[in-house]
Amino acid sequence: MDPAAEEVVRDLVDTLLQENLFGFAEGDAEPAGHDEWRYRVAGVEVLVRAGGRLQKYRYSRGPVRRGTVELTPAELLRLLAVDFPHAHSVTADLRVAVEHARVTLAARHTLLPQPGGLLAGERLAATRNRPFHPTARAASGWTEDELATYGPMRRRPLALDWVAVHTEFLRHGTGGGSDRIADLLLNQRDAEQLADALRRSGLPPGEFTILPVHPWQLEHVLPTQFADEFASGAVRPLLSGLGRFQPTASLRTLATAPESALHLKLPLGISTLGAARLLPPRYLDNGERGEQLLRDLLDRDPELRARVLICDERTWCGWQANPGDEFADRPGHLAAQVRKYPRGVLEDPATIALPAAALAAHEWQLLERPILCGRDPLAFFAELARLFLETMLGFLRYGVLPEPHGQNVVLTVRNGHAARLILRDHDTVRVCPQWMSAAGVADPRYRVRPGAAQSLSLESADRLIGYLQTLGIQVNLFAIADALGRHYGISEETLWETVRTATTEAMDTLDLPAHVAGTVRRRLLDEPRWPSRQVLGPLLRRGPSAGVSMPAETGSVPNPLLESPWTTG
């Protein structure tokens, strides 16, 4: 089995086991030597290993067989999920995940993190993408050639297309330059070229705003989604092939080339993880509200301020022709957001910045020298886990939780030490109004469609802590632990004990209010079971989301900070 298929089938088998879909966790195991078991269930056979603290078994190595036939990830799921309504679309995504993983792995280049840029870390993160999600490597809607052309392993900078949009149909952020995004992103020569194109168009400059558009989006999506606006002249193509940008792991976020503190986020009419990669104005507005909340807490709390930096994401512009568009997804196809990294992060020659998700990539042969600098990997992980938990619990004391998964948390490293965290993508800063009120913190008053299911303002602190347990610890920290364990041979038992120690030390350091400390201790350290993030079952039952929210549900796993309940064999 080639490496791309191996990684996809690993995530698929592990997910089938954890979510116990089709009774997959109820198979028969017999010893196969070398700490492996031959696992038989639903007419298939695979080699598994002890699953650690979250599940009884995990995938060990391929192939997965039915009789003498070796099964691809898509074939395995198609065999099992024959009665599920959306099996076809999910198996198609698994097939694309393997194809796209091959493209990404074959084109790896410039993966060595170093001061002055984030691109190497973004490319590392892209080699695994969202950990433990079977379809994570699939950009649904793109061919292999399109991923090679527009994906993070692209070697040459990407030029963008530019459109003029009648200003009366646009909504702007409060950040400086929201009405002149082009001026922030282009060098003088390119800016003059764009201004000349506007003059030649004959459009009144005061009535139109220039927006960047991803070239794939302009070719494949906007002519359909905005056909009426193109016909009326409310949206007009202005110039193609201008500027220099490099795609990052998220695909819709682009770094400037040469790298600077500015990144550009553009919508794409494709899906990843079962959700569309769009930028609806309500998300951009909620992101501003979440960012301001984080900034207010840093102003209030010097200990948090010493650990955390915040990206500025208040500069944005998006389509909203009328108030009725606020909760629609179509406006999310035409928008742009500029992200500004904190001053000094990329300019410091002694600091390396990279997404935490890069540390979950199975590329520690590259990471070892620039990140560890000769230090013990377990000591580094302990330091990282404590920094992460001190940060997240430091926000939780106010009833607030930034998005904790590894794509949204950037780590700075100095001389082999985890130094600070940089938070980005503020549109999922979650809150518990009850705890906020107790801490004297004002509610951000998120704009949410009336009656819609939402995960921003939560009625209970237990639910808020649940996002730390699932996205923060099981997806972010455990993904890093998984990569370190596989590369250095560190046992999962040791890594989970390290997380438990980091949790207790963080709680002692922070001296949390009694009602917060009691609830956190109960949820994290005492209760026998934790919530878990279920992703494959919801995809099979509901299919890909029609909007921008990833299909997911909450399941249950043993508390990984307690002794394992499993006996294998």
Contact 279, 337 (CB under 8 A): yes
Q: Tell which wins on pLDDT, 567 or 243.
A: 243
209 and 238 assigned to the same domain: yes
353 and 286 assigned to the same domain: no
Contact 532, 17 (CB under 8 A): no
SS3 64: strand
- Decide if pLDDT at 452 tops 80: no
36 and 115 assigned to the same domain: yes
Please report how many Cα atoms fall inside a 13 Å half-sphere around the Cα of residue 337, on the Cβ side.
30
Residue 280, domain member (yes or no): yes
Residue 290, domain member (yes or no): yes
Q: Which pairs from 1-6 meet CB under 8 Å and 24+ separation?
A: 1/62, 1/63, 1/70, 2/102, 3/101, 3/105, 4/98, 4/99, 4/101, 4/102, 4/105, 4/137, 5/62, 5/72, 5/73, 5/98, 5/101, 6/61, 6/62
Give the list of residues 6+ apart from residue 384 with CB closer than 8 angstroms, or none: 359, 411, 418, 477, 480
Residue 311, domain member (yes or no): no
Residue 569 has a pLDDT of 61
- Decide if pLDDT at 451 tops 80: no
Residue 333, domain member (yes or no): no
Q: Which of 84, 111, 126 is the last residue of a domain?
A: 126
Residue 450 has a pLDDT of 79
Mean pLDDT score, 104-120: 95
- Decide if pLDDT at 393 tops 80: yes
- Decide if pLDDT at 324 tops 80: no
Q: What is the pLDDT of residues 68-100, one digit of tens each?
A: 999 999 999 999 998 899 999 999 999 999 999
Interhelix angle 492-510/478-488, nearest 10 degrees: 140
Tokens 């999920």, residue located: 81
Share above pLDDT 90 across residues of the chain, in percent, rounded to a whole number: 91
Mean pLDDT score, 127-137: 95
Mean pLDDT score, 487-512: 97
119 and 187 assigned to the same domain: no
Residue 338, domain member (yes or no): no
226 and 94 assigned to the same domain: no
154 and 122 assigned to the same domain: no
486 and 372 assigned to the same domain: yes
Query: Domain limits at 367?
Result: 345-558
Residue 327 has a pLDDT of 83
pLDDT confidence band for 518 (50 / 70 / 90) = very high
SS3 153: coil
Residue 139, domain member (yes or no): no
Residue 548 has a pLDDT of 73
CATH of the domain at 430: 1.10.510.40
Helices then strands (H, E): number in the chain?
A: 20, 23
- Which residue type, as a one-letter code, is found at position 75? E
SS3 48: strand
259 and 355 assigned to the same domain: no
Contact 383, 404 (CB under 8 A): no
Residue 368 has a pLDDT of 96
Mean pLDDT score, 486-497: 96
Reported pTM = 0.96
For the four alpha carbons of 532, 290, 419 and 366, in that order, the dihedral sign comes to positive
Report DSSP state, residue 473. I
357 and 257 assigned to the same domain: no
Which tokens go with 245? 């940008």
CA distance 430 to 344: 28
Residue 569, domain member (yes or no): no
Average pLDDT for the chain: 95
Helix H or strand E segment including 503? helix 492-510
Residue 221, domain member (yes or no): yes
pLDDT confidence band for 469 (50 / 70 / 90) = very high
E strands in 235-324: 235-247, 253-256, 262-265, 268-272, 275-277, 308-310, 312-319
Number of domains in the chain: 3
Bridge partner list, 423: 310, 409
46 and 182 assigned to the same domain: no
419 and 520 assigned to the same domain: yes
Residue 547 has a pLDDT of 67
128-132, 381-385, 432-436: the lowest-pLDDT one: 128-132
Mean pLDDT score, 439-457: 89
Mean pLDDT score, 388-411: 98
Helix H or strand E segment including 212? strand 208-213
Concatenating the DSSP letter of every residue in 369-427 gives IIIITT--HHHHHHHHHHHHHHHHHHHHTTTEE---STTTEEEEEETTEEEEEEE--GG
Q: What is the pLDDT of residues 543-561, one digit of tens each?
A: 887 667 788 999 999 999 9
CA distance 259 to 117: 6
SS3 69: strand
121 and 155 assigned to the same domain: no
